Structure 1
């Protein structure tokens, strides 16, 4: 997509591009091929960004961000992805940060936001439960008030990076005898607290991203309540609009399509380029057209944020189309790779490097249309927000 950048924005783009060229981490784990970083490498990268003041790049200056415009954010995301540099963890930066700015008190903002912006504390999200995934309002984790603490008991599941996290923002039920949305509260829980047990879940891509988290008589100070008791559902919906916007992954999809085009040009089949095979160039063109439409929609959502408005129904639309596009790109890479895409978690290259982890990435992205609220549920959200009715 070609935007009409001002001279200052072009200068900013060159600054970001040069910095990424000099500072993007080496790729021993194959991040550019879809293999996740380990915790130490991820934190080192985020702290390098923080030292430049660019980790919390969507935040306003008063909370420790650079105060960039929508266009600057767009440029940064494009240049970061184009450099093959990894994404930052979204839980503190893109989810909890905006919540604390909107609902947190001054003590909470001063305690947590600087550490998130510095990349020194990692967060995870305690939302889903075995019986409460897309139907999140049916969650059962209880928080009983006991003096100046809540005593929390329950189980969370599909908790990304809980094994890395220092803290978890968590939805709990503080009022069991009221309508279910009205009885939910939003707590900040120290993951080093007694009574927390973390069990790994190995996903179909063969990696450990997810966990079960069991909470048994975990004592949480009342001062760690964000907002008011019973306000958790309002806060959760606010947070999820930011999560779903980030899940769209426009810049990374642009990078992945670029990889797909490059391998289609250089890979040879019976003496000619793969891109000259029937239907290949048309398939890539269709993906690029879908990406262009998604990118324009994403920019409109960013503009809404810049004008001080929370994302609306478009965040669910971005989540649906963005994850569908990610899946379609990964499926195309597997299809074009053929037998070269077959090796499973092999350390021995089988063919073109772009195909070596194609099946791993394909399998991981099967979950993208589920996490953050399944795409089927997002269609209901869009209908309710645009047509009225529901909560």
Structure 2
């Protein structure tokens, strides 16, 4: 029994007996299940030596007593809450990172576990005495294949089967991140068009479902770009994911910001229409304010002016210099974010792409970006970046 050897604080529990009230007080005792069952058993034995009527009366009374006793003992003996079958194999995080106390999200893309022939260690985010400000890590980059399997592109042109033993170290670090309270989602980047055919949908979806389940992902980020998936299929996929993995499964999408503003749209379907149909199943959108536009207050305002609540999307930036266009000093971005958060305090958070050499920090300390982002959003104190101010300044040519 799980209660063996558990020390309890003094408990006073009122129990009705034969019309009178008496109190059972356990004072600094070591209560185990054997003692509790022995105690209840002896009382029931006494009760059943009386007449049938008395026996039934005492039986009912002692059932009440047993219930109240179990309620008093429950906090010490309780295990994990039962999980519904739909979510039992998917979620490992306790979601207790420093920033998780806020509604703001600090989203870290980890799309390149291998880069320049060396391991990129995402566990650096959590393996230190530093506060953890990242709330979500998007692990990938995954693709659905036409042979009903999946692959992961780990950086550069390295393509691996999703379960290649050579990546065991990356899966292990993913577990470390989850155990630290940071939710880990699959970063799904391609193969969406294979889901368009209703006849083969289940076969194409099966390896995705299998990998999400076996690897215990907390969610999925759907990055649909230049992939001929229809609005109807996207709706079907989101509804299927929600039905299969439950309410706690984090479903996000990553449109370019101009798509939300009514401009250039790499996804080829309307996000406004998607929001109307399955918005309740989408946690938020990681809007890309790079590539097709800049990270400016005007670009942000354009999205809001098109009817989007700032609480529905994060500000996605190219934290890695490899994905940036246009020159903008990182140190100057503080003023940009100050303007955005002052004008739109409901903005959901920030997202950084990609982890391996992002600024500040670069190759040696990419963990610095989530802390910097948390300062911009007011989640972390201004002095949280004091130890790496030089790194921030050295990003002088950071481009967004």
Band the TM-score falls in, shorter-chain normalisation = under 0.3
Q: Which has the larger radius of gyration?
A: 2
Give the structure with the larger helix fraction.
1
Q: TM-score, normalised by structure 2?
A: 0.24
Q: Which has the higher strand share?
A: 2
